[in-house]
Amino acid sequence: MTSGGLEAGAQRIPGVTVKKIEKEVYEIFIGPQHPGSGHMRIIVRLDGDIIVEADPDIGYVHRTMEKLSEVREWLKPIPLLERMTIIDACNVTLPYVNALEKLMDKTPSTRASYLRVLLCEINRVASHLYGMGIFGVFIGHSTMYMWAFGDREVFVELAEVLTGARLTHTYPIPGGVRRDMPQDLPEMARRTVRYMRGRLEEYRKIFVDNPVIVKRLAGVGVISKSRAIELGVVGPNLRASGVKYDVRIAEPYEVYGELDFEIPVFEEGDALARTWVRVEEIKQSLNIIEQAVNWLETHKGEPVIAKEDFDKLPKLHKEVYEKEGRVKLVPAHATMKIPAGKAVARGEMGRGEIFYYVESDGGTTPYRVRVVTPSARNAIVFKHIVPGHTLMDLPAIYGSIDYFPPESDR
């Protein structure tokens, strides 16, 4: 934000850029107070109805997550980082926990891994439904919006039964998870899965196969395979462009290596393909949820934190675990020290790959936490893909890449 082109004598306002634009170009500011922008601004320059330049101006919900993580003890960034994407809370913190586990050379118990995967997939479905709902209302389809948000509630409630919190679960901790699943969860999860499969069919009828929607989305916002790779696009947007990349396959974490699922890939790279990828991924996530609860039901008895941690717990804490299925940590956990080192961990969120770089100098707080969220990497699409489309295509592209400003701004 340089102040080049400022007239002499004009007063300089903090945070405001002054820039000369061409006479033929019509410049409009979409956001941050605009029904179709979210917490961001896209500065769009139009020639007639065609966008010639789009400049995503993000950062309106920047909350200094990286800096704040450096002044908190190791466990405390978990609830903080969750706030980036509360609708995808387990996926967004799991790689941070994984990075800590790498630094500590700790392996979570298998049961904990399955529980993490279960919550991750519940989150993924909820996140996709959220994205599809917003997408629907962006292109004027209010029914899709209401349906998706209504059905997301089912998964939010399933997560609540599992963790005790609707959105910010703070579920994984280094070495395990915070509580075991309740007895009735498997049955509830199976019912949810059955229900959602039926609903997906209805979605197809009213939204994905709707002639108006298909006409609106096909061939819009095409990201070719090579361009997607150059721009470093992630998640469903990448897979819609024909790149078969998913962290769950590329570098399996937790128990994803043992589960049976597919990665849907489409070649078209347009907004419609991105929608299809989300629908197909919901189906795969439902499969994983079923497999996970089946495993959890048949393998009982193992504690949900690493064995060496569990053995060290005092008797009272073990009793609490036996009775309530809840892990009560000793206070030493809050001020634990982690061996010096640098670790990188990544995971697949609903919106794509999340990357953590965690560095420890052996103290009680992280030396450096670097987090790159999927939306932060997808933001580049606005700049390079949007120009050349008409103004009415902007909401279609925005919605189809499922951009989430709070996640991007961190």
Site for another protein in 73-102 (CB under 8 A): 99, 102
Considering only 22, 24, 47, 142, the residue that binds another protein (CB under 8 A) is: 142
**Contact between 14 and another protein (CB under 8 A)?**
yes
Instruction: List Cβ neighbours of 271 (8 Å cut-off, separation of 6 or more).
Output: 217, 218, 220, 221, 396, 397, 399, 400
* Window contacting another protein (CB under 8 A); options: 77-85, 259-267, 305-313, 391-399: 391-399
**Contact between 232 and another protein (CB under 8 A)?**
yes
The Cα-based distances of 333 to 31, 133, 316, 381 in angstroms read: 43, 40, 16, 41
Residue number with CB closer to another protein (74 or 138): 138
Shortest reach from residue 11's CB to another protein, in Å: 15
Contact 269, 255 (CB under 8 A): no
Considering only 35, 182, 219, 388, the residue that binds another protein (CB under 8 A) is: 35
- 191, 34, 173, 35: which is closest to 96 by C-alpha? 173
**Contact between 216 and another protein (CB under 8 A)?**
yes
The token duo for 314 is 């005092």
Max CA separation in the chain (angstroms): 77
Considering only 84, 156, 305, 345, the residue that binds another protein (CB under 8 A) is: 345
**Contact between 312 and another protein (CB under 8 A)?**
no
Count CB-CB contacts under 10 A for residue 21: 12
* Window contacting another protein (CB under 8 A); options: 86-94, 177-185, 189-197, 382-390: 382-390
* Window contacting another protein (CB under 8 A); options: 139-147, 272-280, 316-324, 329-337: 139-147
Measured CA to CA, the distance from residue 192 to residue 374 in angstroms comes to 27
Shortest reach from residue 219's CB to another protein, in Å: 11
**Residue 55, SS3 per DSSP:** strand
**Contact between 367 and another protein (CB under 8 A)?**
yes
**Contact between 140 and another protein (CB under 8 A)?**
yes
Considering only 283, 328, 333, 383, the residue that binds another protein (CB under 8 A) is: 383
Considering only 42, 43, 54, 58, the residue that binds another protein (CB under 8 A) is: 58
* Window contacting another protein (CB under 8 A); options: 121-129, 271-279, 289-297, 338-346: 338-346
Considering only 47, 49, 258, 324, the residue that binds another protein (CB under 8 A) is: 49
DSSP codes of every residue in 149-218? HHHHHHHHHHHHHHHS-SS----EETTEESBPPPTTHHHHHHHHHHHHHHHHHHHIIIIIT-HHHHHHHT
DSSP codes of every residue in 305-364? B-HHHHHHS-HHHHHHHHHH-BPPPPGGGTT----SEEEEEEEEETTEEEEEEEEE-SSS
Contact 172, 97 (CB under 8 A): yes
Shortest reach from residue 255's CB to another protein, in Å: 16
Shortest reach from residue 113's CB to another protein, in Å: 17
Site for another protein in 250-289 (CB under 8 A): 250-251
Measured CA to CA, the distance from residue 284 to residue 120 in angstroms comes to 13
**Contact between 53 and another protein (CB under 8 A)?**
no
Site residue total, another protein (CB under 8 A):
81
Instruction: List Cβ neighbours of 367 (8 Å cut-off, separation of 6 or more).
Output: 70, 359, 360, 361
Contact 218, 272 (CB under 8 A): yes
Residue number with CB closer to another protein (117 or 369): 369
**Contact between 393 and another protein (CB under 8 A)?**
yes
**Contact between 219 and another protein (CB under 8 A)?**
no
Site for another protein in 116-135 (CB under 8 A): none
Considering only 165, 167, 200, 206, the residue that binds another protein (CB under 8 A) is: 206
